[in-house]
Amino acid sequence: MPAPTVPRPPASYRPSDPLYSQQWDMTTIGMPQAWAQTGGVGLNTLPITVAVLDTGFVNSPELAGRVVGGYDFVHDPARAGDGDGRDGDASGVGQYAYHGEVVANIIAAAHDGRGMAGINPSARIVHVRVAGTDGLIDPQDLADGLRWAAGITVPGVPANADPARVLNLSLYADFIPLTGCDARIQNAIDAVNARGALIVVGAANDGADASGYSPAGCRGVLTVTSATQQGTRPGYANWGRPVALAAPGGETGHGIPVSSLSGPGGVRAPEGTSMAAPHVAGVASLLLSVRPRLTPTQLRGLLTRTASPFPGGRCDPDPARTCGSGTLNAAAAVRAALASSLGR
């Protein structure tokens, strides 16, 4: 009698969310193949907490039931726009509030047949508001937000009951010269690294060397620049030695399709390294969901080693304008993590 046929798992998984057909970024990084390896909708994965240090919380239906805790670290009442300084309400205020919303949705939007599909639909999000209504970030607010997000005590602030394993920073600190990493931010990064959390940072959008920016130019972060759908560096995207890899960030007229309560018809298509970073943070959380003991160093190795090569071997005709090891490849990263003994 012949042996029973064991059905093979699907080679790819396609979410039913209506915006997914426009999400070129997800197919570019191999998310359909990555999802297939992890059970499609996260049924076989652990829920990993990701901190979004940004403009704050927006009540997006894409994240219903998976937003935990949160805190507002904007100390200046004049810039906070909510009538006081630091407080336990992490809600975004003002014209830039959508920024933190779309970053979080790229990481974790539900696969529920409504809106967009996020990278890790089982992830939990903790919003850490560090940007004022002007969109600017005070270095001390950022340093304290970093510590708190990872579960480190910050004087005068209640403990974070939901420490994050991955921190996404689609930002850079203002009010300081762009001449190198700010010492306050570097000290906070060192403390977060010691806690075993990965910090993913956008390289910034000035078409310049990222080395002078905080935190993109700091030690101990995974700095991400933008790539177009073709795998090249858009002109706005920062570059240089600190950049570890690239991820879809879009370009003029061809941004990253995302659900947003503030967008026409509930959709936006922003561009920038702010959009590139959460692709990496989302994939990092997916790797942790299947290999929960991975360290930040091991995560960095998996993400950079499995990146897809740039066309012709470089992201930019100028060899000085480097973009790291390649473009994020989620399918290859998940495959490598599952095949490895790391993080078991």
pLDDT attached to residue 43? 47
Structure tokens at 169: 């920073």
Residue 194 structural domain: 18-339
pLDDT at residue 179 greater than cutoff 70: yes
Q: Pick the catalytic residue: 99, 111, 127, 279? A: 99
Asked whether residue 316 is domain-assigned, the answer is yes
Asked whether residue 6 is domain-assigned, the answer is no
pLDDT at residue 4 greater than cutoff 60: no
Please count the structural domains in the chain.
Answer: 1
How does pLDDT run across 300-335, given as a tens digit for each residue?
A: 999 999 999 999 999 999 999 999 999 999 999 999
Q: Pick the catalytic residue: 17, 25, 54, 138? A: 54
Q: Is 99 a catalytic residue?
A: yes
- Residue count (the chain): 344
Task: Give the contacts of 101 (CB within 8 A, at least 6 positions apart).
Answer: 55, 58, 60, 92, 260, 261, 262
Asked whether residue 113 is domain-assigned, the answer is yes
Confidence grade of residue 8 (pLDDT, cut at 50, 70, 90): low
Q: pTM for this structure?
A: 0.96
pLDDT attached to residue 341? 85
Asked whether residue 170 is domain-assigned, the answer is yes
DSSP code string of 205-248? SSSSBGGGSTTTTSTT-EEEEEE-TTS---TT--BSTTEEEEEE
CATH code of 147's domain: 3.40.50.200
Asked whether residue 7 is domain-assigned, the answer is no
DSSP 63: G
Grouping H, G, I as helix, E, B as strand and the rest as coil, residue 265 is helix
pLDDT at residue 343 greater than cutoff 90: no
First to last CA, the chain: 38
pLDDT attached to residue 344? 80
How does pLDDT run across 213-257, given as a tens digit for each residue?
A: 999 999 999 999 999 999 999 999 999 999 999 999 999 999 999
Asked whether residue 4 is domain-assigned, the answer is no
Asked whether residue 344 is domain-assigned, the answer is no
Residue type at 256?
Answer: I
Asked whether residue 323 is domain-assigned, the answer is yes
For residue 234, which of 204, 263, 268 has the smallest C-alpha distance?
204
Q: Is 182 a catalytic residue?
A: no
How does pLDDT run across 157-169, given as a tens digit for each residue?
A: 999 999 999 999 9
> Mean pLDDT of all residues in the chain?
95
Q: Pick the catalytic residue: 60, 122, 274, 308? A: 274
Q: Is 274 a catalytic residue?
A: yes
Residue type at 127?
Answer: H
